[in-house]
């Protein structure tokens, strides 16, 4: 019995050392994790403006007024809009975000109720170096508020690392107070979008994550039209699961800079450090 106890005493430091080594091996690079979450947030946000326009507005719209100046194709019978992002398109806009592939927006032609419904599908679509797959669904009872819901959007990086996420949001449109009420003309008086909601999913490392916007995040329409896609103001909270039912929290703040449509996105990391997420923008 004494020999067994003595053996355990000898093994204890070795076992503790192995546990410490394991902690070091799986220690997360917080700056890298923040960059990955920022990418997911941008991938959700960058195409939002395309989905906020009605069928009537697309009938009146010139591609120059859309980020990256896509070719607009309308199928009157199916009530379907295809936005084709071509690499050889000349587009003079302040933002330098690149897109390729297609966005297909389908407006429901069967609904008799006053609730309008439509979807936006990613078709071989890329934003920057990331590919995005899936369908986002929208509905609205009036011209001011839009509900959004989606399941299993997939973001895949150039290194073939993929994240999968779902979300639910409420968007509110802000118009000029003296604007015309005709839906086809209101695009010219739409000032901003405010969004509240959340995204939940699994990141490339296999960890559950959550992005919440509990207070409104504000998007400027004039900046969207110049291909500047970051929120002009607002805050997001990011949560990432760890071992033993624990999680870490990132707090992200968007603040406008002096230059038009330029924004600083700053994260407070779980260890208290500050990180500028967009130093080159």
CB 138 within 8 A of CB 119: yes
111 has a pLDDT exceeding 70: no
Confidence tier at 18 by pLDDT (50, 70, 90) = very low
Q: Over 80: is that where the pLDDT of 11 sits?
A: no
- Report how far residue 113's alpha carbon sits from residue 146's, in angstroms, rounded to the nearest whole number: 16
Q: At residue 139, what are phi and psi to the nearest 5 degrees?
A: -150, 155
- The pair of structure tokens assigned to 71 is 């070719």
User: Distance between CA atoms of 187 and 189, rounded to whole angstroms?
Assistant: 5
What dihedral angle (degrees, nearest 10) is formed by the CA atoms of 213, 222, 64, 123? 0
Does residue 88 contact residue 68 with C-beta atoms inside 8 Å?
no
Please, which residues bridge with residue 163 across strands? 155
CA distance 72 to 47: 15
pLDDT grade for 16, boundaries at 50, 70 and 90: very low
Confidence of residue 121 (pLDDT cuts 50, 70, 90): very high
Residue 182 has pLDDT above 90, yes or no: no
Return mean pLDDT, the chain: 88
pLDDT for 67-88, tens place per residue? 999 999 999 999 999 999 998 8
Whether the predicted pLDDT of 222 surpasses 50: yes
Q: What is the pLDDT of residue 8?
A: 44
Q: What is the rounded distance in angstroms from the CA atom of residue 281 to the CA atom of residue 265?
A: 10
* Of 38 and 186, more confident: 38
Q: Which of 145, 128, 70 is nearest to 104 (CA)?
A: 70
Distance CA 238, CA 46 (A): 18
State percent of the chain over pLDDT 90: 74
How high is the pLDDT of residue 22?
35
Residue 61: both structure tokens together: 């719209």
225 within 8 A of 67, measured Cβ to Cβ: yes
> What is the percent of the chain with per-residue pLDDT over 70, rounded to a whole number?
85
Structural domain spans, the chain: 29-276
How many residues are given for the chain? 281
């Amino acid at each position: 019995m004494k020999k067994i106890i003595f053996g355990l005493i000898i093994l204890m430091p070795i076992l503790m050392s192995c546990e410490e080594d394991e902690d070091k091996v799986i220690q997360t690079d917080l700056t890298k994790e923040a960059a990955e979450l920022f990418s997911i947030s941008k991938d959700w946000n960058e195409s939002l403006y395309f989905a906020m326009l009605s069928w009537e507005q697309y009938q009146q719209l010139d591609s120059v007024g859309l980020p990256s100046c896509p070719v607009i194709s309308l199928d009157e019978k199916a009530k379907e809009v295809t936005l084709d992002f071509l690499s050889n398109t000349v587009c003079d806009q302040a933002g330098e975000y690149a897109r390729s592939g297609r966005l297909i927006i389908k407006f429901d032609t069967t609904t008799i109720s006053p609730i309008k419904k439509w979807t936006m599908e990613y078709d071989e679509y890329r934003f920057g170096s990331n590919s995005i797959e899936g369908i986002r669904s929208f509905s609205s009872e009036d011209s001011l508020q839009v509900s959004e819901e989606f399941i299993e959007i997939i973001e895949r990086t150039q290194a073939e690392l993929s994240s999968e996420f779902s979300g639910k949001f409420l968007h509110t449109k802000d118009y000029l107070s003296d604007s015309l009420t005709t839906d086809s003309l209101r695009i010219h008086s739409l000032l901003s979008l405010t969004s509240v909601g959340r995204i939940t999913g699994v990141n490339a490392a296999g960890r559950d994550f959550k992005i919440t916007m509990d207070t409104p995040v504000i998007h400027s329409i004039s900046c969207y039209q110049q291909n500047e896609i970051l929120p002009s103001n607002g805050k997001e909270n990011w949560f990432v699961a760890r071992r033993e039912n624990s999680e870490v929290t990132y707090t992200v703040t968007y603040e406008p800079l002096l230059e038009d449509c330029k924004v600083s996105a700053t994260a407070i990391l779980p260890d208290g450090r500050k990180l500028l997420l967009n130093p080159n923008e």
